[in-house]
C-alpha cells in the first residue's frame, strides 16, 4: 500500500466530485488541443491548395481578396480581366503556361469554374501534384462538366448524369441555367483541396449559359437554345483570374510589377506564397487570441481543480489524523495532496486527448466536405507536447497549495480532530 495507491483510493471514495473535476481539466485541455490542431490543419490545407503557380492575375483588387476567391473559392471577384489582356499574358515570352479561371456560378452550393484543359495540364497542389481524372475524361464539348471528387460523392453523380447550373452563388439560387444542362464527363481523384468541391466546365460553356443574360438577369424574349448557342462565337469577353507559370521563376517578380502597371486596364498580380504569408500574419492575430483564451481556460481549469481540493480538506481532517497516527509524516500528507492534483493533471491530459480526438473526428465529418480542411488525429508534437508537459508539471506543483495547508494543519491538529 504505497502513498499513490492510498491517494487514488481516497479520491475514488470522493468520485462524484472527482469525476466532475477531472472533466473540467480534461475539457480545458481538449479545447486547447483542438484549437491548436484546427489551426495547424487549416494552415496545412491552405498551403497545400496551390503549388507551382508563380503568379495569379485578376482585376484590380486587394491581393488577399484575389487569392481567396481565385484559389480558395472564398468571397467574390469584383472586377474581371478582358479576354484581350488574357491573350497578352498568355502570349508573353516569359510566360510558360496560363490557366484561365471564370467564376460566379454554382451548383447546390458548390462553385462552378469555367476553364480549359490547360487546367488539367498545369494546375498543381500539395507537393506539385497534378489533378488527375479518376473516371471519364477531360473537357471536350461545350456542355461537358468534370466534377471534383467531393461534389460527385456528396451529390451522388455518375458519368453521364445531367447537371443544371444555378446563376450566382449560394445553394438556394432561384435562377437556373436549366435551358442548358451539362453532362458529367469526368470525375477527379480526391485532392484534399477546394478542387474537390468544384465543378469544372469549359469557358465556352460558361459563355453559352450567359448569352441570353445581361447584368445578371435573363433577357426577356431573347431565349437562345443550347443548340443555337453552339453556332455562336463562344469566346468569352472576360475571365475572372489567370494562373500564370513563368518560364523561369526569377522572372515572376518583374512580371508582377509589369502587370500591376499594365496600361490597358487596372490589374492585380500576386505571388501566391507571399500573399499566403500575408494572410497568416493577419490570421495569426486571431489565432493567437484563440490560443491565449484556450490557455486561460486551461489555467482556469487548474485553478478550479485546486479549489475543489482545498474545499475538500475540511472533511478530510479525520483522514489525515488517522494517517498521522499510523506514522505518516506531515510531508506524506503534503505528498498525498500533490499526488491527487497531479492525478487530475495526468488523467485530465489522457481524457483531454481522447475528448480532443473525438471532437476532431466529429468535426472532420462536416469541416472536410464544407471547407476542404483535412483535420488530422495525431499525438501532440513540439511545442504543444512541451506545453502539455508543463501543464502536468504545474498540476502537480499547485498541489502544494492544498498540500501546504494540510501540512500546517496536520502539525497543529496532531491526532486530535474535534470535528
Ligand X SMILES: Nc1ncnc2c1ncn2[C@@H]1O[C@H](COP(=O)(O)OP(=O)(O)O)[C@@H](O)[C@H]1O
Cell numbers for 415, please give them.
Answer: 491526532
Q: Whole-angstrom distance between the N-terminal and C-terminal Cα of the chain? A: 27
Distance CA 340, CA 160 (A): 65
Buried b (16+ CB within 10 A) or exposed e, 176-204: ebeebbbebbbbbeebbbbbbbbbbbbbb
Stretch that binds another protein, among 87-95, 189-197, 340-348, 409-417 (CB under 8 A): 409-417
Report the distance separating Cα 190 and Cα 240, nearest Å.
25
Min dist. Cβ of residue 192 to another protein (A): 51
Q: Specify whether the CB–CB gap between 213 and 219 falls below 8 A.
A: yes
Does 419 help bind ligand X (rule: CB under 6 A)? Answer: no
Interface residue with another protein, options 219, 282, 299, 322 (CB under 8 A): 322
Q: Does 16 bind another protein (CB under 8 A)?
A: no
Q: Which of 163, 328, 349, 398: binder of another protein (CB under 8 A)?
A: 328
Q: Hey, which residues between 357 and 386 contact another protein (CB under 8 A)?
A: none
Using alpha carbons, select from 291, 371, 379 the residue that is nearest to residue 44: 371
Question: Alpha helix (H) ranges present in 313-383?
Answer: 317-325, 330-371
Q: Is 35 helix (H, G, I), strand (E, B) or coil?
A: helix
Return the residue of 137, 249, 257, 318 that touches another protein, per CB under 8 A. Answer: 318
Contact between 40 and 277 under an 8 Å Cβ cutoff? The reply is no
Element (H, E) at 201: strand 198-202
How far apart are CB 320 and ligand X at their closest, in Å? 13
Give whichever of 8 and 226 is closer to another protein, judged by the CB atom: 8
Helix (H, G, I), strand (E, B) or coil at 269: strand
Minimum distance from residue 415 beta carbon to ligand X (Å): 10
The separation between CA 138 and the C-alpha centre of its own chain, rounded to angstroms, equals 29
Among 1, 250, 285, 379, binds another protein (CB under 8 A): 1
Residue placing its CB nearer to ligand X in the complex, 2 or 412: 412
Task: Map the footprint of another protein across residues 17-36, applying CB under 8 A.
Answer: none
Q: How far is the CB of 396 from another protein (least distance, A)?
A: 22
Task: Name which of another protein, ligand X, none residue 321 binds, using a CB cut-off of 5 to 8 Å depending on partner kind.
Answer: another protein
Q: What is the total count of residues that contact ligand X (CB under 6 A)?
A: 3
CB of 299 to another protein, least distance (A): 30
Footprint on residues 200-239 left by another protein (CB under 8 A)? none
Q: Is 264 in the site for another protein (CB under 8 A)?
A: no
| Interaction partner, residue 322 (ligand X, another protein, none; CB < 5-8 Å by kind) | another protein
Stretch that binds another protein, among 316-324, 337-345, 357-365, 373-381 (CB under 8 A): 316-324
63 close to 250: Cβ distance less than 8 angstroms: no
Determine the distance from the C-alpha atom of residue 319 to the mean position of all C-alpha atoms in its chain, rounded to a whole number: 51
| Shortest Å, Cβ 416 to ligand X | 5
> Residue 32 half-sphere exposure, CB side, CA atoms within 13 Å?
27
Which of 12, 174, 366, 382 touches another protein by CB under 8 A?
12
Instruction: Specify the stretch interacting with another protein by CB under 8 A; choose among 67-75, 134-142, 297-305, 317-325.
Output: 317-325
| CB distance 268 to 78 below 8 Å | no
Q: Interaction with ligand X in 353-412: which residues (CB under 6 A)?
A: 412
Find the binder of another protein among 62, 75, 330, 369 (CB under 8 A). 330
Do you know the residue count of the chain?
Answer: 419
Measure the CA–CA gap between 156 and 341, rounded to whole angstroms.
52
**Pairing between β-strand 213-214 and β-strand 162-163 as defined by DSSP bridges:** unpaired
CB of 326 to another protein, least distance (A): 5
Contact status: 416 vs ligand X (CB under 6 A): yes
Q: Which is nearer to another protein, 331 or 385 (CB)?
A: 331
Cell numbers that stand for 250 in this block: 526569377
Judged by beta carbon, residue 247 or residue 413, the one nearer ligand X is 413
**Residue 13 found at the interface with another protein (CB under 8 A):** yes
163 strand-pairing partners: 182
Give the span between the Cα atoms of 260 and 266, in whole angstroms: 7
What angle, rounded to 10 degrees, do the helices at 3-13 and 330-371 form?
Answer: 60
Q: Which does 16 bind (CB under 5 to 8 A by kind): another protein, ligand X, none?
A: none
Query: Which residue, 323 or 396, is less far from ligand X as judged by CB?
Result: 323
In the complex, the residues that contact another protein under the rule CB under 8 A are 1, 6, 9-10, 12-13, 318-319, 321-322, 324-331, 414-416
Residue ranges binding ligand X (CB under 6 A) = 412-413, 416
Amino acid at each position: 500500500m504505497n502513498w499513490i495507491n492510498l491517494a487514488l483510493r481516497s479520491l475514488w471514495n470522493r468520485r462524484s466530485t472527482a469525476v466532475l473535476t477531472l472533466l473540467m481539466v480534461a475539457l480545458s485541455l481538449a479545447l486547447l488541443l483542438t484549437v491548436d490542431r484546427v489551426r495547424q490543419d487549416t494552415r496545412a490545407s491552405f498551403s497545400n491548395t496551390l503549388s507551382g503557380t508563380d503568379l495569379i492575375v485578376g482585376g484590380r483588387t486587394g491581393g488577399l481578396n484575389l487569392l481567396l476567391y481565385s484559389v480558395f473559392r472564398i468571397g467574390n471577384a469584383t472586377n474581371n480581366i478582358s479576354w484581350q489582356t488574357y491573350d497578352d499574358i498568355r502570349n508573353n515570352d516569359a510566360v510558360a503556361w496560363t490557366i484561365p479561371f471564370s467564376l460566379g456560378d454554382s451548383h447546390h452550393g458548390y462553385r462552378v469554374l469555367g476553364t480549359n484543359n490547360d487546367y488539367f495540364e498545369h494546375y498543381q497542389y500539395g507537393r506539385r501534384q497534378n489533378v488527375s481524372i479518376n473516371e471519364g475524361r477531360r473537357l471536350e464539348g461545350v456542355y461537358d462538366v468534370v466534377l471534383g471528387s467531393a461534389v460527385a460523392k456528396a451529390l451522388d453523380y455518375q458519368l453521364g448524369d445531367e447537371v443544371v447550373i444555378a446563376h450566382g452563388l449560394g445553394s438556394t439560387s432561384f435562377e437556373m441555367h436549366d435551358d442548358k444542362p451539362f453532362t458529367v464527363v469526368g470525375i477527379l481523384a480526391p485532392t484534399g483541396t477546394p478542387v474537390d468541391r468544384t465543378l469544372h466546365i469549359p469557358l465556352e460553356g460558361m459563355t453559352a449559359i450567359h448569352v441570353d443574360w445581361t447584368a445578371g438577369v435573363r433577357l426577356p424574349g431573347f431565349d437562345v437554345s443550347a443548340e443555337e448557342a453552339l453556332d455562336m462565337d463562344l469566346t468569352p469577353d472576360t475571365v475572372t483570374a489567370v494562373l500564370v507559370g513563368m518560364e523561369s521563376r526569377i522572372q515572376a517578380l518583374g512580371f508582377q510589377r509589369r502587370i500591376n502597371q499594365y496600361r490597358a486596364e487596372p490589374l492585380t498580380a500576386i505571388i501566391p506564397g507571399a500573399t499566403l504569408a500575408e494572410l497568416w500574419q493577419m490570421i495569426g492575430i486571431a489565432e493567437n487570441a484563440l490560443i491565449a483564451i484556450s490557455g486561460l481556460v486551461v489555467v482556469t481549469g487548474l485553478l478550479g481543480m485546486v479549489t475543489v481540493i482545498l474545499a475538500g480538506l475540511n472533511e478530510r481532517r479525520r483522514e489525515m489524523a488517522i494517517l498521522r497516527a499510523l506514522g505518516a509524516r506531515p510531508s506524506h500528507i503534503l505528498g498525498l495532496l500533490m499526488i491527487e492534483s497531479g492525478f487530475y493533471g495526468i488523467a485530465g491530459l489522457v481524457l483531454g486527448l481522447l475528448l480532443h480526438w473525438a471532437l476532431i473526428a466529429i468535426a472532420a465529418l462536416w469541416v472536410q466536405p464544407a471547407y476542404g480542411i483535412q483535420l488530422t488525429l495525431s499525438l501532440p508534437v513540439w511545442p504543444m507536447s512541451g506545453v502539455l508537459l508543463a501543464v502536468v508539471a504545474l498540476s502537480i506543483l499547485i498541489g502544494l497549495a492544498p498540500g501546504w495547508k494540510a501540512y500546517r494543519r496536520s502539525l497543529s491538529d496532531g491526532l486530535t480532530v474535534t470535528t
